[in-house]
Structure 1
Amino acid sequence: MTGPLAGMRVVEMVGLGPCPFAAMMLADMGAEVIRIDRKAVPGAPNPFPMLGTRYDVMARGRRSLALDLKQPAAKEVVLRLLDKADIVIEGFRPGVMERLGLGPDVCHARNAALVYGRITGWGQHGPLAQAAGHDINYVALTGMLHAMGRADAPPTPPLNLVGDFGGGAMMLAFGVVCAVLEARKSGRGQVVDAAMTDGAALLGAMMYGLRAHGSWSDQRGANMLDGGAHYYDTYACADGKFISIGAIEPQFYALLLKLAGIDDPAFDAQMDAALWPSLTEKIAAVFLTRERDSWCHLMEGTDACFAPVLDMAEAPRHPHNVARATFADVGGVVQPAPAPRFSRTAPEIGIMPAIPGQHSAAVLGDWGWSQADVAALAQQGVI
């Protein structure tokens, strides 16, 4: 691997959602990430049939070691791996790793410099720490979900981008790399407590600042960035497809009106929030007069702050995304490429998603186990 994290060793205790996404980010950047999968139980139902296939995009770039963690020998395998690792990340409820005998105190007693990354919805402590939840719940608690959606409709779930991935996985990946940099100076690792509630709240820093200033209303769909303003919204076109407009600055707004052929003086009062509903109706009628591609031909690439609203089939084919190689085809599966870009240590997509346990013997051999030890673990059913 050639990315900026080449040489870093990470152990991922496999879970769902944000932990695999964070591990994918680290692997994309060149870290050697070993997935600790749970040893499959023959005949057990699989509620997530995508997992362990080439469609499991978030599993890319890592080798898989499958262990029966109910066996004491499996715990010792994990601890021996962590003796040589820079980072371990896990996404279980608080206390699970401790019950497995793999909590931070045990691990730091053996490897004082280990960075121990933990990601949960509610965090490692607090009244809700042991409760089940999902992205929508964590974002709801931060005030951010309330702000999303139209004024006349319930709040709109933002997929699971804000809690699981933006507020969770990315914060975890950022946090463990920060902690490794500190450990290389101090010689001491630490626990990184990445709570999706904390991260989702942090993503709303600007909105909380605007609200404190009096520039943001708790009324949904009444603000500049939530669809309340006519110059920052999505609009239907004659063919039923959509475009996006984000002409906030006066010079960009003026160009938008010029290109759209709008000369109604009512639009001169751009920042008068009382007029936004009526101006939205008027500009929506204008955009309904052409098909989406016609508006693209007229506005795309200008300073009108315009872009077509593409679906996931169209986005990888857009010329800008093609030019930047924003998407990649890995084994016939189109998926986002690693980001961000680096001028020297270019990140790359590593091996395709592994079947759980696909690399058990190879991983142990590479990390110091003898062939006899590996064979014994296999015979005991540990791997």
Structure 2
Amino acid sequence: MKPLNGLRIVEFDGLGPVTFAGMVLADLGAEVLRLTRSASAGASPFDEVGGALLHRGRAAVPVDLKSDADRPAILALTDRADAVIEGFRPGVMERLGYGPETLQTRNPALVYGRVTGWGQTGPLANQVGHDLNYIGLTGLLHAMGEPDRPPAPPLNLVGDYGGGAMMLVTGVLAALLEAKTTGRGRIVDAAMTDGTALLGGLFQALRAQGVWSDRRGANLLDGGAPFYRCYACRDGGFVAVAALEPRFYAALLNGLGVDPSDAPQYDTAAWPALQARFAALFATRDRDDWAGRFAQTEACVTPVLSLTEAPDHPHNRARATFDQGLPAPAPRFDGAVLEAAAKPSLASLNEALTAWGAEAG
């Protein structure tokens, strides 16, 4: 049995974080119904790239949110739900008649989870944007990348998924726990700007202490330290070096054949020269040669794998981190990997109502 077995969640389909959040909740055992745009509303239920993973574990139920004909059934489903999640811009769900006030009046214990880029309030709340815009406002994007180049986009992991989806999941689960004892649901406002800022709390704290610079590539964890960055190898591959602690750094120097007296770890003025020295050394061997050389040491040197290579790495295979090339559910419970939820299926509104024992009034 999975941890969230017995919970029912209605997911109003959307791009990015709400879809990822729905996948996580379904992986953990919640029964999630994904209300998609019907063909009459102008979209196919399976037209999103990544659906084989992001849509797994829940049925797609095509609906037209603007249709009076579908409204009774949609409301009946939310009446039977423990939570709903949505990612529309502020005010859209209210205009459609599915805002939190409407749904919680009918179902007081309902948790209403909302995820947006800018949040439900503030001067930018109604502006359009994407992950890169949201994280750009938090200071974190400025901190990423090489010092002499524009900030590097960190895929959409930081805003959409870290600051958005995972904060939405956390907020919904916290509100569900509270609702079990109080009988009252909450409205969860997960803004990617808020969540991303929180993820960057360590760096703001270090900056306030005067030990973190706003200059990219000049700090301990942003590639500025020669012992915490990636290096190119002879074959065009890369290794990740993360020898932060002194004894790990000593193991790194030993593996590279560098005299410790000639490479003080925390002499920041010497970092650029030491980085160039390490780069020249790593360029003399292939990636996997270095990985093998450091495999049984404490140097914290590992290969940088491509997306194609990662599923076949022995560690990932041993832990079943990937299932048929796609990431398996995480985290684990009692040491076991949760079984990957079934591929998405297609259901009608009537089938969904029957499955949930609901009737459209």
Question: What is the aligned partner in structure 2 of residue 352 from structure 1?
Answer: 343
In the alignment, structure 1 residue 75 sits paired with structure 2 residue 64: no
Contact kept? 1:30, 1:347, Cα under 8 Å: no
Question: What is the aligned partner in structure 1 of residue 276 from structure 2?
Answer: 281
* Superposed structure 1 runs of 4+ greater than 3 Å apart: 53-56, 357-361
SS at match of 1:94: coil
Deviations 1:352-377 (A, max 9, x none): 134xx44544322212257xx7xxx9
SS at match of 2:239: strand
| Aligned-residue offset at 1:256 | 0.7
Structure 2 residue runs without a partner (length 5+): none
Inter-CA distance 18–316: structure 2 relative to 1 (3 Å threshold): same
In the alignment, structure 1 residue 272 sits paired with structure 2 residue 261: no
TM-score, normalised on structure 1?
0.90
Count how many residue pairs are aligned between Structure 1 and Structure 2. Answer: 361
Q: Aligned runs of 1:32-111 on 2, under 5 Å?
A: 32-41=31-40, 50-51=47-48, 55-111=51-107
SS at match of 2:57: coil
Q: CA RMSD in A?
A: 1.9
Question: What is the aligned partner in structure 2 of residue 380 from structure 1?
Answer: none
**Which residue, out of 324, 332, 343, partners 1:341?**
332
Structure with higher RCO (Cα < 8 A, 6+ apart): 1
**Which residue, out of 287, 305, 314, partners 1:310?**
305
**Which residue, out of 132, 144, 148, partners 2:144?**
148
Question: What is the aligned partner in structure 2 of residue 20 from structure 1?
Answer: 19
SS at match of 2:129: coil
| Aligned-residue offset at 1:300 | 2.1
**Which residue, out of 162, 167, 191, partners 1:195?**
191
Inter-CA distance 261–359: structure 2 relative to 1 (3 Å threshold): farther
Deviations 1:203-257 (A, max 9, x none): 1011111111111000011001001010000000010100000001000000111
Distance 2:84 2:46 in 1: 26
Distance 1:220 1:176 in 2: 35
Question: What is the aligned partner in structure 2 of residue 164 from structure 1?
Answer: 160
Q: Aligned runs of 1:172-187 on 2, under 5 Å?
A: 172-187=168-183
Question: What is the aligned partner in structure 2 of residue 322 from structure 1?
Answer: 317
The amino acid across from 1:179 in the alignment is: A
| Aligned-residue offset at 1:118 | 0.3
SS at match of 1:66: strand
The amino acid across from 2:159 in the alignment is: G
Question: What is the aligned partner in structure 1 of residue 234 from structure 2?
Answer: 238
TM-score, normalised on structure 2?
0.96
Inter-CA distance 50–308: structure 2 relative to 1 (3 Å threshold): farther
| Aligned-residue offset at 1:275 | 0.8
Identity %: 55
Structure 1 residue runs without a partner (length 5+): 378-383
Inter-CA distance 222–138: structure 2 relative to 1 (3 Å threshold): same
